[in-house]
């Protein structure tokens, strides 16, 4: 019974995704919702501390939304921003306990409550950055960094192996977190931060010799990966 109703949910999710894809292929930017494996991989990299908020932008039919809630982020601390009106309505219906905002991620600070700004360590992005003009990419990234805490980061997935947004031209740091093969197509996950990251840790002690060496190495590999 449970299996049948979760299959029905999956079918209705896929059908809606397909309908919106036909209507707006560039904005959807994927042929199917992301897999559970990709969603779980992303959730493993969410930095959540009690009291913080997690923001998801470009939630689609909610594959990451469900995984974020399952990973332990309370529903009251998850805010989702979705550009497509019909998808936003679907998310409200299926995740009634979270705040779903129908809006554009280029203006996050105008959409989310003021008390949330600065209390976000992770933004999960499902937005298909490769399909978006550079100017809009920059507006989205800038808007994310305006609401993130000082050491916060954006988790972005893409189907290619290089970062879909140019870290160097936009002036942030990009770290490749890994590739998930159990997704169709396989996906790579990136973390973008304003501060340099070394081995997953933010670089705090600038006078640490080893960290400075690793940072130098990371900067050169970042140039290569773009």
Ligand X SMILES: C[S@@+](CC[C@H](N)C(=O)[O-])C[C@H]1O[C@@H](n2cnc3c(N)ncnc32)[C@H](O)[C@@H]1O
187: contact with ligand X by CB under 6 A: no
58: contact with ligand X by CB under 6 A: yes
Part of the chain binding ligand X (CB under 6 A), chosen from 4-12, 111-119, 122-130, 174-182: 122-130
For every residue of the chain, DSSP letters joined together read: -HHHHHHHHHHHHHHHHHHHHHH-HHHH-SSSPPPHHHHHHHHHT----TT-EEEEES-TTSHHHHHHHHTT--GGGEEEEES-HHHHHHHHHH-TTSEEEES-GGGHHHHS-GGGTT-EEEEEE---GGGS-HHHHHHHHHHHHHHEEEEEEEEEEESSSS-SS-HHHHT-EEEEEEEESSSSS-EEEEEEESS-EETTEEP--TT-HHHHHHHHHHHHHHHHH-
Part of the chain binding ligand X (CB under 6 A), chosen from 67-75, 79-87, 160-168, 192-200: 79-87
C-beta of 59: minimal distance to ligand X in Å?
5
Instruction: Return the axis-axis angle of helices 85-94 and 2-23, rounded to nearest 10°.
Output: 170
105: contact with ligand X by CB under 6 A: yes
164: contact with ligand X by CB under 6 A: no
Residue pair 203/197 in contact by the 8 Å Cβ criterion: yes
Judged by CB under 6 A, the residue of 54, 91, 126, 147 near ligand X is: 126
Binding mask of the shown chain, residues 10 to 49, with x at each position contacting ligand X by CB under 6 A: -----------------xxxx--xx---------------
Site for ligand X in 139-158 (CB under 6 A): 140
165: contact with ligand X by CB under 6 A: no
- Which CB atom, from 58 or from 196, has the smaller least distance to ligand X? 58
Judged by CB under 6 A, the residue of 111, 127, 147, 154 near ligand X is: 127
55: contact with ligand X by CB under 6 A: no
Binding residue count for ligand X, defined by CB under 6 A? 24
Interface positions with ligand X (CB under 6 A): 27-30, 33-34, 57-60, 63-64, 81-84, 87, 104-106, 126-128, 140
């Amino acid at each position: 019974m449970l299996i049948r109703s979760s299959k029905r949910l999956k079918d209705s999710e896929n059908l809606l995704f397909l309908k919106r894809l036909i209507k707006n292929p560039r904005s959807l930017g994927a042929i199917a919702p992301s897999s559970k494996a990709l969603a779980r991989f992303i959730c493993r990299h969410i930095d959540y501390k009690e009291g913080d908020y997690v923001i998801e932008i470009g939630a689609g039919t909610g594959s990451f939304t469900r995984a974020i809630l399952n990973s332990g982020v309370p529903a009251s601390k998850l805010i989702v921003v979705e550009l497509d009106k019909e998808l936003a309505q679907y998310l409200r219906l299926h995740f009634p306990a979270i705040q779903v905002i129908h809006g554009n991620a280029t203006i996050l600070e105008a959409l989310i409550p003021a008390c949330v700004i600065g209390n976000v360590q992770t933004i999960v992005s499902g937005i298909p950055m490769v399909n978006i003009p550079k100017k809009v990419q920059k507006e989205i990234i800038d808007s994310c960094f305006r609401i993130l805490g000082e050491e916060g980061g954006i988790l972005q997935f893409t189907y290619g192996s290089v970062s879909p947004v140019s870290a160097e031209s936009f002036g942030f740091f990009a770290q490749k977190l890994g590739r998930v093969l159990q997704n169709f197509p396989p996906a790579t996950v990136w973390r973008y931060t304003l501060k340099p990251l070394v081995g997953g840790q933010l670089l705090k002690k600038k006078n640490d010799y080893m960290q400075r060496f690793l940072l130098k190495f990371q900067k050169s590999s970042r140039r290569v990966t773009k």
